[in-house]
Structure 1
Amino acid sequence: MLKWLAIVLIVLLALLQYRLWLGEGGVRDLAQVRERVAALEAENKPLRDRNARLAAEVVDLKTGLDAIEERGRSDIGMVRTDEQFFWVPGVAVEATQREAGASRVAGASPATEARR
């Protein structure tokens, strides 16, 4: 009787070991799930960084006037009241942008650039 009980327990242990290592939900499946999680985390990292930048921009736009002024200048070409804007017909936008970049390097302020 004890001999049969030992054989049954050994067979049961072998079946459980098989399921643990090779069966559904076993160690192999766990390794595959971990690899998939790592791949998805790597895929989501740039998106999280982008969301953080956008959230910071939203906070900046809600609280600071500098960000609003920068948006107005770059997106719709707004000019402050103490500045003068001169439009020169026939000059390409790219050329004026290059000149603006060169004057910034030379140390001219943005207000000086707008008066030119």
Structure 2
Amino acid sequence: MKYFSQFMLLALAVAVLLGLQYQYWLGENGRFEHNKLMTQIEEQQGLNENQVTANNLLRTDVYDLKNGLEAVEEHARLDLGLIKPNETFVQVSTAPITHSRY
């Protein structure tokens, strides 16, 4: 009877230890979930850095548009095809040259 109670106490201790290990590794907030969340955080931080760079570029573009005429003229030339008086417009084709024989 004495050994049986010691065995049951040991079995209970092992069961508690296994339960705690399961909770640590595989539980709702366990180690694997923690690693997965850390990976997601790193990915999101990379995306955030890209957005910060894009936002800074847009911020400088807005500043240039508000404070200088050069940026407005550049946008008008590129986007709207601005040609000032006494300027000559030259368009270069980038289409491949094909030769046909008839």
TM-score range, shorter chain: 0.5 to 0.7
Which structure shows the higher helix fraction? 1
1:94 and 2:98 equivalent? Answer: no
Counterpart AA for 2:19: L
Q: Percent identity?
A: 27
Unmatched segments (≥5 aa) in structure 2:
1-5, 94-102
1:66-109 superposed Cα distances (whole Å, 9 cap, x missing partner): 21122223333142xxx62235xxxx6116xxxxxxxxxxxxxx
Structure 2 distance, partners of 1:36, 1:75, is 39
Once the 2 structures are TM-superposed, how far is the Cα of residue 18 of structure 1 from its aligned partner? 2.4
RMSD over aligned CA atoms reads 3.0
Question: Structure 1 length normalisation: TM-score?
Answer: 0.53
Aligned to 2:67: 63
Aligned positions of 1:67-78 closer than 5 A? 67-76=71-80, 77-78=82-83
1:1-116 aligned within 5 A: 11-76=15-80, 77-79=82-84, 84-86=86-88, 93-94=91-92
Please identify runs of 4+ aligned residues in structure 1 that moved more than 6 A: none
**Ranges in structure 1 where 5+ consecutive residues have no aligned partner:** 96-116
Q: Relative contact order (C-alpha < 8 Å, sep 6+): which is higher?
A: 1
How far residue 32 of structure 1 moved from its aligned partner, in angstroms, is: 0.9
